[in-house]
Chains A and B, each alone.
Chain A
Amino acid sequence: MTKRFEITEARFLAPDVKLLRITAPRIAKRQKPGQFVIVRVAETGERIPLTIAESNPQTGTVTIIVQGIGKTTKMLNRLDAGAAIADVVGPLGKQSDIEKFGTCVVIGGGVGTAIAYPTAKGLKQAGNEVIAIIGGRNRQLVILEDEIRAFADQVIITTDDGSYGEKGLVIDPLKRMIAAGKKVDYVLAIGPIPMMRAVANVTRELKIKRLSVSTRSWWTGPACAAAAGCWWTAKASSRVWTAPSLTRIRWISTF
């Protein structure tokens, strides 16, 4: 008999970044892009929010991609297939606004790519042109390339050290596109806070509908902060949501 919230697959996508597929039929059935789960690994553990990368209603599983930065995420990443997680609650949060915008540029920095992934797929399914810019400090930290190539119209890869794809930052291809006069209707950027700020600065001048996820979370590092932020997405057409203006997540309830 399956244990509640049993892990059916567990593999590393990058150092410290692990994919976990979890049995959770009700969550799998109702999950929409942008939603998250709250996870408690064991009885004395804390509860943390993590974006759902994808779900499979047929097999009744949901997938999370976790960067092991703090105690709880590291504990989670030590689990393998066959282990069970104490509690997984979801799907929580508002789903991403997915419409036919036109041309969407989805930018993922490091583990931020995992969080942008479900929305990127949803945007493609809604009939948008999806250009994905996936970046990392080096080749090892670029994740989900194959999965995104499977649906995106164009995939550009950047690494800070040039070990894979273009050498440079994720913001560079975006700047190039805009300078070349490409009509961009929507930008989604998820990654370290300085990266998101840079994207916001570039798009600020233009009337691009931009979804920049940003919070200052004291739980763990930027990746999980962005994950938590998916719950509280800031939509601003010409205003910039930068980290200092969103002081912290107001933890009102688990919902």
Chain B
Amino acid sequence: MANPLKPAERTKIPRQHMPEQDAVARSQNFKEVNLGLTFELAKCEAQRCLECATPKCVNGCPVGVKIKDFVALVLDGKYLEAAAKIREDNILPAVTGRVCPQEEQCEGVCVINKKFGSVGIGYLERFVADYERQSGQVGLPAIAPATGKKVAIIGSGPAGLSAAGDLIQRGHAVTVFEALHDIGGVLIYGIPEFRLPKDIVSNEVENMRRMGVQFETDVVVGMTVTVDELLKEEGFDAVMVATGAGLPQFLGVPGENLCGVYSANEFLTRVNLMKAYRVGEFDTPIYDCRGKNCAVVGGGNTAMDAIRSAKRLGAKNAYIIYRRSEAEMPARLEEIKHAKEEGIQLLLLNNPVEFLGDAKGWLRAARCLKMELGPADDSGRRRPVPIKGSEYELPLDVAIIAVGTSSNPLVQSTTPDIKTRKGGYIEANADTLKTSKPGVFAAGDIVTGAATVILAMGAGRKVAKAMDDFLRSGQW
């Protein structure tokens, strides 16, 4: 059924608001902030689509989801078909609908974005994926006849899962090795429950098990077993390295090793993976933030996640200390909006130069400098310049450092014939994602550096195709 409204009528419909938990209430719990579009809201939102002859949104999507088509199916009420349409290119729609920076991708290039606010593509993708999951009728794709080939995928984050889901369909035997005790990588240890409920991830993993993917947790490739052992002794025909870029970076300022200073990595892993916020139910301890002054240094999604978690853990004052202005913050717009609503205080154009401790070695304050913006640096963002004499002390009990991460060094350090580039990232051919070691491919953040879930998934699909070619031809 075609959209009954004329284009001019469609643009008169305002962009629908995503129902959310009340800001004060949600700042005290870890339940999901966004509640999801209702059927009416979804229909309304789908109706706004102009159905462009050459949809820009599809090009804006890193994996080329057929957005125009799935939105039309939503308008028709054909939600399961819409889900199937998305799954042709994206195996984790319930995840991406929630965590993609749509404003930089599909929605950013939507033709009506500037004047009327883009079509809520992310909201609709989430709506469709949630409907499918709740209906229990997930359409799993058909599996090709068994090829007799075995693939090892190292890392169960978005790149690894995406490649696994693709390769299993092509008939290969797939085993995903994961160092942690649970599957999902950054989806489960990095992104908090209030943005991405873990049930969703475990649901998708279950779908993959049903398709035949094997998962082995507690295996640290490089320590428990090496890549060479996988290839030569355990019978794998090809290996894909998808170990990510999760090694935290620190500021390198004095006092950073005081008690009370954490990497965002550690803080979030305790909260998300180990569920430290469920005190009494789960044993993993976390710093008691109740009534305390907590700050996160950084301006990306990880920083937002960490400070909003600290707030939920009871922080009296929850600060973001960021050395540039809000315009330069790399975090998703929705996260910044939600953070401000929840009472997070943004100390912009501020930078800590030292952490100060008490007699027992615990953090008591950060010495901060105020900054102003100078000309752009290599990243294209304006460079922060310290303002002389602007130092002040910010009383703090907890400081969480979220200024970026670098490559996971483990596989490379134990597999010297895998070539790396500056920063320890694995060098991979741009088209085939082959590394310098025969039989070994790499994809995701371990190749590109820290990026997004959707980019990792796109890389996973790309590498699956190249691996399939290699496995069938036997030619490296």
Residues of chain A contacted by B210 (CB below 8 angstroms): none
A252 x B283 contact (CB < 8 A): no
Residues of chain A contacted by B220 (CB below 8 angstroms): 89-90, 92, 254-255
Complex Cα distance, B290 from A58, in Å, reads: 51
283-330 of chain B: CB within 8 A of chain A: 283-285
User: What's the least CB distance linking A91 to chain B, in Å?
Assistant: 6
Q: Within the complex, which residue of A47, A244, A253 is in contact with B274, where a contact is CB–CB below 8 Å?
A: A47
Q: Cβ of B374 < 8 Å from any Cβ of A?
A: no
Complex Cα distance, B126 from A133, in Å, reads: 64
Q: Within the complex, which residue of B247, B257, B285, B408 is in contact with A247, where a contact is CB–CB below 8 Å?
A: B257
Annotate B216-251 by CB proximity to A: 1 below 8 A, 0 otherwise.
Answer: 011110111100000000000000000000111000
Residues of chain B contacted by A47 (CB below 8 angstroms): 181, 274, 284
B361 x A244 contact (CB < 8 A): yes
Q: Cβ of A149 < 8 Å from any Cβ of B?
A: no
267-283 of chain B: CB within 8 A of chain A: 274-275, 281-283
Q: Cβ of B410 < 8 Å from any Cβ of A?
A: yes
Q: Cβ of A235 < 8 Å from any Cβ of B?
A: no
Q: Cβ of A26 < 8 Å from any Cβ of B?
A: yes
User: What's the least CB distance linking B143 to chain A, in Å?
Assistant: 27
Q: Within the complex, which residue of A26, A30, A86, A247 is in contact with B181, where a contact is CB–CB below 8 Å?
A: A86
Residues of chain B contacted by A44 (CB below 8 angstroms): 275, 281-283
181-228 of chain B: CB within 8 A of chain A: 181, 217-220, 222-225
| Stretch touching chain A among B1-9, B258-266, B379-387 | B258-266
Complex Cα distance, B265 from A140, in Å, reads: 42
Q: Cβ of B418 < 8 Å from any Cβ of A?
A: no
Q: Cβ of A153 < 8 Å from any Cβ of B?
A: no
Q: Cβ of A161 < 8 Å from any Cβ of B?
A: no
Q: Within the complex, which residue of A45, A87, A252 is in contact with B218, where a contact is CB–CB below 8 Å?
A: A87
Query: B413's closest neighbor in chain A, by CB?
Result: A255
A255-B259 in contact given A46-B285, A71-B283, A87-B218 (Cβ < 8 Å):
no
Complex Cα distance, B283 from A139, in Å, reads: 34
Complex Cα distance, B285 from A27, in Å, reads: 27
User: What's the least CB distance linking A132 to chain B, in Å?
Assistant: 29
B248 x A252 contact (CB < 8 A): yes
Q: Within the complex, which residue of B179, B263, B265, B361 is in contact with A255, where a contact is CB–CB below 8 Å?
A: B179
Q: Cβ of A8 < 8 Å from any Cβ of B?
A: no
A252 x B181 contact (CB < 8 A): no
Annotate A14-34 by CB proximity to B: 1 below 8 A, 0 otherwise.
Answer: 000000000000110010000
B257 x A92 contact (CB < 8 A): no
136-155 of chain A: CB within 8 A of chain B: none
User: What's the least CB distance linking A221 to chain B, in Å?
Assistant: 15
B361 x A30 contact (CB < 8 A): no
Query: A252's closest neighbor in chain B, by CB?
Result: B248
Residues of chain B contacted by A72 (CB below 8 angstroms): 283
The listed residue with most A CB atoms (<10 A of its CB), out of B181, B246, B258, B263, is: B181
Query: B409's closest neighbor in chain A, by CB?
Result: A255
Residues of chain B contacted by A244 (CB below 8 angstroms): 361
Residues of chain A contacted by B259 (CB below 8 angstroms): 247-248
Q: Within the complex, which residue of A45, A89, A251 is in contact with B179, where a contact is CB–CB below 8 Å?
A: A89
Residues of chain A contacted by B410 (CB below 8 angstroms): 255
85-125 of chain A: CB within 8 A of chain B: 86-92
A26 x B225 contact (CB < 8 A): yes
The listed residue with most A CB atoms (<10 A of its CB), out of B222, B224, B408, is: B224
B224 x A27 contact (CB < 8 A): yes
Q: Within the complex, which residue of B218, B219, B223, B274 is in contact with A46, where a contact is CB–CB below 8 Å?
A: B274
A253 x B223 contact (CB < 8 A): no
A251-B266 in contact given A44-B281, A44-B283 (Cβ < 8 Å):
yes
A26 x B284 contact (CB < 8 A): no
B283 x A250 contact (CB < 8 A): no
Complex Cα distance, B408 from A248, in Å, reads: 22
The listed residue with most A CB atoms (<10 A of its CB), out of B179, B218, B222, B246, is: B218
Given contacts A91-B223, A248-B259, A254-B179, list 12 more A-B pairs with CB under 8 A: A44-B281, A45-B283, A46-B284, A87-B181, A90-B220, A90-B224, A247-B361, A252-B266, A253-B265, A253-B408, A254-B180, A255-B410
8 nearest A-B pairs in the assembled complex, by CB-CB distance: A46-B284, A87-B181, A46-B283, A89-B218, A44-B282, A26-B224, A251-B266, A87-B218
28 contacts between A and B (CB under 8 A): A30-B223, A30-B224, A44-B275, A44-B281, A46-B283, A46-B284, A46-B285, A87-B181, A87-B217, A87-B218, A89-B218, A89-B219, A90-B224, A91-B224, A92-B223, A244-B361, A247-B258, A248-B257, A248-B259, A250-B257, A250-B263, A252-B247, A252-B265, A253-B265, A254-B220, A255-B179, A255-B222, A255-B223
